[in-house]
Amino acid sequence: MNDKELFDRMTESLYAAVISDTLDELGHRNQVMRENINPIDPNWVLAGRAKTILSVDVHYIPDQPYAKEIEAVDSVKPEDVVIGCTNESKQNGLWGELLSTASKVRGARGAIVDGLIRDTAKIVELGFPVFATGTKPVDSQGRGIVIDYDVPVLCGGVRVNPGDVVFGDRDGIVVIPKDLVGEVFERALDKATRENHTRDELLAGRTLRQVYDKYGVL
């Protein structure tokens, strides 16, 4: 299946916890971003290829404060999820309505920012899933600047490489290394199916021991 089909199936059938469990089983136990990065709308579920953008704090207004930021957003491709690494800045409002609009039109599936964002009402209205640590109405000009993109970044405590797959929902954000995506998807889908059977049998009155012994999930 192509990326669009894969990510659509992931958002329809999977959830962060079952993907995290699957990565644990494969020995990748530190793939979940910090718990302070959350969706603006808790009902949003997001999956896509990591498009990394690296920003740093500044304390002056550069001659061209948005040059690299514009270049980065204009290079977004369909099925990307923008990973905005601000080094957990509290002064840099990296993301907002216009960057969301530009990214959505280019086919991006959403954005994850390890810092603050703004224009949240407009972003919700746009229907573009964005995860962040919080909000602040200040512009990034003179506070932060994009210095690079399509490079490895540390976002929410997890190393994210360009092309890795990220999955986010109201429980958190999981990073799947790009060379494990197919295996993680198949294993997670199987585990989710077994969890669904477990829940159904618990609701029918069977004991937790009975269904655990049968399906092996908890």
Domain 3-177 has CATH 3.50.30.40: yes
d(CA 144, CA 125): 26
Domain segments of the chain as ranges? 3-177, 185-215
Residue 116 assigned ligand-binding role: no
For the entire predicted model, the pTM comes to 0.92
* Residues 69-127: tens digit of each pLDDT: 999 999 999 999 999 999 999 998 899 999 999 999 999 999 999 999 999 999 999 99
Residue 202 assigned ligand-binding role: no
Residue 94 assigned ligand-binding role: no
Residue 97 assigned ligand-binding role: yes
Taking CA atoms, 216 is separated from 139, 189, 201, 206, in Å, by 50, 14, 13, 14
d(CA 36, CA 154): 15
Sorting pLDDT into bands at 50, 70 and 90, what band is 198?
Answer: confident
Residue 96 assigned ligand-binding role: yes
Does the CA dihedral 109-137-53-148 come out positive or negative? Answer: positive
Residue 139 assigned ligand-binding role: no
Sorting pLDDT into bands at 50, 70 and 90, what band is 206?
Answer: confident
